Structures are given as C-alpha cells and as structure tokens.
Amino acid sequence: SIPEDLRTLADYEARAKAHLTAEAWLHIQQGSGREITLRQNRGAFDRLGLLPRALVKLKGASTATDLLGRRHAAPLLLAPLAYQRIAHSEGELACVRAATALDTGMIVSTLASISLEEVAAAARSMAAELGKATAPLWFQLYLQPEREHSLQLVRRAEAAGYEAIVLTIDAALKPTGMTLPKGVSAVNLAGLPQARHTAAPGGQVLFGTPLADAAPGWDDLAWLRRNTRLPLLLKGLLLGADAARAVDEGVDGIILSNHGGRVLDGLPSALDMLPDVIDATRGEVPLLLDGGVRQGTDIIKALALGAQAVLVGRPQMHALAVAGLPGVAHMLQILRAELEAALGQLGCRTPGGLSPDWLIALNR
C-alpha cells in the first residue's frame, strides 16, 4: 500500500503537504521566529562528514542498543508529539502500532489526542498479535499548575505500564498554538483546569500572568524525582551546567533538545551542544538528542559525538499524514535500513563502536 516513489523521509515530507490542511502543515513544519534554530538543526548534521574504515568484516554487526535496562532494536525512538490525530484519524494508535511492529520505543505526549491508557493497550494488543514483546513506552509529562494533577498523570502512566517519565521543560512559555480541528483534543487532561502549556497570545503581556507564574523550577524536578520510582528523563536542555545539576537531582537520562526549533529562536542545535553536556556529565547518565534527524547517517553522527540514541519528531507526522500506520512503519524501516547500510559502509559493527574519530568537519 506504500507508493514506490517513497524511499526517504524527505519523500514523505514532500508528499505530506498535500494530505494536510494548510494550517496543520504550518503548525507541524514551522519553527519560531526567523527559524534560525530550525535551520541549525539540519545544518549541524550537514556540517559533519564521516570517515570510513577499510576492509572491516561485518559478521555479527547489530544496531541493538541498551537503554535504561531495556534492549532497543536501534538507537532510535519516536519523539513526543502533541495531537497526532491532526495528521491522521488513528493518530497515536497508528504510531504505537508501527513502533511495536518495528521494535521501536515511543514517547507519548501529555498532549496526545488518544488517552495514554488506550495507546498502551494498543501497543500490547499489537505485540500479542505479532507474538512479540512490547517495545518500551515512555510518558512525556508537561507539569500542570497543580502538583496533584501532574501526579495523577504520572500515576496513570505507571499503572498503564509506561517504563519511564520524560519531563519536558523547554515549552512552558510556548507562543500561540494552532486551532485544533473538531474532535481533536488533549484527552489526557480532560477535566483538569487550564493547563500550563496553554499558549500566550502573541504580543500580549506575559510576566505576571498565570502562564508565567506557573513556569516550573528545580524544586518541581526534585519533587517529581521523589514521587515516582520510574526512570526520569529531562527533555529540553542544552547546557552542560544544567545537565550536571539535573544529574545531581537524580535524573536517569537527558534528552538534549531545542523542541524542534519551535520555542526560542536563536538556540543552537542539540548536536552542537552535545560535547558541552558530555563534559559536564561524564557518562553518568545516557544522553539522547533530537532535532533534524532525517536519515541514517544523522543517527551515526549523533552517536559518534556521544549520544546513546536519537528521537525523530516531524517525520512521524509526515508518514502518518501520507499513509497512517504502514507509513510510520515504513518510515522507521527506512531509517533503520539507512543506519545499517551506513554503519556497514563505514566499517563499524555496532553503534557503541562509534566515536568522534569517525567524524570530520566538512567545508561547506
């Protein structure tokens, strides 16, 4: 059911526009401001070249990666994306089924348009149907103005079998979002009062409003750490000093991210900030990153600089829009196949074998 001319993530991206309303397309694609950060996310990968080793035998080669005590088929997870039903009526259900089929972990957003329980149940029934174990599911938390409501979300995620909590900290003051299509909403938050992510209208006073007053701090992280036994990852920081403090607070992993260039324009790419974070954390916790990952060689570059895994964001929406579940499965298959081919062509048998010695700055 997948057209033959869809061979890369770029093909899906080009095709997706025709399957989305103009507003949804912009909402998914756009970066904030003049998109300086959005461009950095691709530029950082494109400025790096790869240095192969000659005549390396590949018997026993594998992309398998251990993260938080679990084996992942490849160093790749689905990034948390709000409202996936914008792109396809099955939304998160299609994504989690595709992820299960491809043994890929998925991070489910607080702002998912299918309830976190239904997403977990769909993963389990798909795994049973295919006679395999479920791939790891992590729950992405946006802190709510009331701690009690954040805790309710965490308890629900624990009960539903999510294996980690990902606290996103870089979008508390996100500018205006889109008008959601009829029938698409943040169902996980149904019944809760106005959530703190709610956008501040452009050009209006922010400081002194409930939105700014509710912005989370380090005490909220410490509180969350005390209140769940699940592994806790922090998503949306870029500085080594912040990462070191987060490790001191007991986080189990860090996801370097600038939110796909969607929040503060002018941030550098996660890839460019990785060395600073590695220096500051010295391998104490796994480091993941996202922003601009679009081909297998991007994964290799992130790993060579010291990341344990990467997340892929917008390509989920592109593949969903074009072909639903089979599209997302195909997108993941493409990335996996590209990663394997590139590792083989480089002469590197496992992701763990990569290091900065495999990279060279390109003249561009």
Q: Does residue number 82 form part of the binding site for ligand FNR (CB under 6 A)? A: yes
Residue 259 is among the residues annotated as catalytic for this protein: yes
Question: Cβ 323 to ligand FNR, closest distance in Å?
Answer: 18
Residue nearer to ligand FNR on the CB measure, 263 or 348: 263
Q: How far is the CB of 113 from ligand FNR (least distance, A)?
A: 10
For residues 55 and 190, which CB has a smaller minimum distance to ligand FNR in the complex?
Answer: 190
| Contacting ligand FNR within 228-287 (CB under 6 A) | 235, 257, 259-260, 262
360 Cβ contact list (under 8 Å, min separation 6): 48, 49, 50, 51
Q: Which of 153, 154, 214 is nearest to 189 (CA)?
A: 153
Give the total of residues touching ligand FNR (CB under 6 A). 23
| Tokens of residue 345, six digits | 């062509």
- Of 136, 76, 51, 81, which Cα lies nearest the Cα of 337? 76
Q: Which two tokens stand for residue 356?
A: 């900065």
The residue annotated as part of the active site, out of 27, 88, 197, 259, is: 259
From the CB of 189, what's the least distance to ligand FNR, in Å? 12
CA distance 89 to 324: 8
314 binds ligand FNR (CB under 6 A): yes
| Residue number with CB closer to ligand FNR (80 or 351) | 80
Single residue of 37, 63, 109, 134 touching ligand FNR by CB under 6 A: 109
Which range in 4-12, 202-210, 311-319, 336-344 contacts ligand FNR by CB under 6 A?
Answer: 311-319
Which tokens is 246 given? 């987060």
Name the 3-class secondary structure at 342. Answer: helix
* Contact residues for 105 (Cβ-Cβ < 8 A; gap 6+): 67, 70, 72, 77, 78, 99, 135, 136, 137, 138
Cβ neighbors of 42 (< 8 A, separation 6 or more) are: 292, 294
Classify burial at 271, counting beta carbons within 10 Å of its beta carbon; exposed 0-12, middle 13-18, buried 19 or more.
buried
By C-beta, is 122 or 169 nearer to ligand FNR?
169
Judged by the rule CB under 6 A, the positions of this chain that interact with ligand FNR are 28, 41, 79-82, 109, 111, 140, 168, 235, 257, 259-260, 262, 290-293, 312-314, 317
**Active-site residue numbers?**
259
